[in-house]
Structure formats: C-alpha cells, structure tokens
Amino acid sequence: MQDLEYQNALTQYLEGFVSERRKGRLTEVLAERTNHLTVVLEDVYQSHNFSAVLRSADIFGIQNIHFIENRNKYKISEDVSMGSTQWLTLNRYQKFENNTVECLTQLKNKGYKIVATTLHEKSVTLDKLNIDQPIALVFGTELTGISDDVVAIADEFVTLPMYGFTESFNISVCAALCMHELSTKIRAQVTDYKLSESEKKEIYLEWLKVSVKKHELMIKEFDASYFANKV
C-alpha cells in the first residue's frame, strides 16, 4: 500500500500528461471492475490459452488473475491477449513449496470461496452456484485438469453442460463462458461487487502509468522533487 499523500500527488502529476478523453475512459472502465470474481490458472502451459483467458477477463471486468506455476511458467502471447495484461493485476505463485496450496489458502483467507471447474461427482452448473460470497474460479492444466490439491481444498465444483460427442471445452473457451455467465449474474444480483475506493485509486494510478510514455523516467524525476521537499 502506497503512502496516500504520495499516491495522490503522483496521480495528479501523471494526469497532467493524459488527455481528458483518456482519463474519462480509464474512469469509465474502472467503475465496472470487480474483485468479487477472480480467476486462478493452475499450471496452464499453452501461452495462447492463458493469453486468451486474460483477454476475456479484461472484457468481463475481472481485475485479478492468479497464476499457479508448479511445473509450467506462464508466458504471455500479446498477439492473443491484445494488450489486456497492462490493465489487469497479475499474481504469480512460483516460489512456495506447494504453490497451489499457498495460492488457494491466501484466497480463502481473503474471504473467497474456491470453486473448481471439473467433472466432479458433486459438480453443479453455474446457474445453481451461490454468488453471495466472492468466488475464486480455478481452471487446471490442459491435459489433466485440476490437481488433487485443488480437489481437496475446493469448496464447490462447477461444470458446463455438454450435449455432443466431445467431452471437454478448450480451457480458454471454458473460462470465457464461465466468466460471462458469472460476471453477468454477479452484476445483476450482488450490490457491492465493485472495487472499493482505495482499490480504484491504486489501479487508476497503475493505468495512468501505462498511459504515459517514459513514465519510469518521469516518476523518477517526480520522486526526486517530491522527497526533496519533504526534507
């Protein structure tokens, strides 16, 4: 968490280099962002798959994405993600003894219900899923799905109805369908799904940085002046 006075001052400084139209667009998109639904990708290894998931997350207004990297490291394909990564908060879990357990435990401690996508005997369809509590939606690797650790930790399991010969969706398609249905349901039924004001301020500042060319150099110059006046 940044010092609030510094955050406000830096935000005001960077806004001076951004058009009113751009600031309006940032504010408009930010107003519909949510953390009531977050997405977890466990060892997804095909770059076009998780890049497509990121693109869909941005489209559906989902701010936080969590990457569990036990065996596979993620590498974004910008051709697929279409620059969506710069507007999302990406959380990586790669340095723990068990990254899956660490990620899901952290999310549970933050109040999330862990919902895994799988053909589990207790799976329900999305329309039957209770959305009152914030949801962390977990997708597993392309070949084998979610791990045994996810099965052990998950609070609920969901599946998508399928009526053809093919028994599974591509992960990026599955994620997009789930995000569409759940985000639509959340916006219609959950009154406080939007980000808090403090979350909005932090993300808005990050988006301003993305919108300003050579922002690293400009922030360095700002910091020198700002902290010199604090002495």
Tokens 């908060």, located at residue: 89
pLDDT of 130 reads 95
Strand extents, DSSP E, the chain: 37-42, 64-68, 89-93, 113-117, 124-125, 135-139, 156-159
pLDDT of 120 reads 62
- The mean pLDDT of the chain is 89
Q: Does pTM surpass 0.85? A: yes
Domain 34-194 has CATH 3.30.70.920: no
Give the largest CA-CA distance in the chain. Answer: 71
pLDDT of 118 reads 80
Write down the domain spans for the chain.
34-194, 195-231
Q: How confident is the model at residue 75 (pLDDT cuts 50, 70, 90)?
A: low
Q: Is the pLDDT of residue 208 over 70?
A: yes
pLDDT of 99 reads 94
Q: 54: which residues sit within 8 A by CB, 6+ positions away?
A: 65, 76, 81, 84, 85, 88, 90
Q: How confident is the model at residue 80 (pLDDT cuts 50, 70, 90)?
A: very low
Residue 219 burial (CB count, 10 A):
16
Q: Which of 31-40, 52-61, 168-177 has the lowest mean pLDDT?
A: 168-177
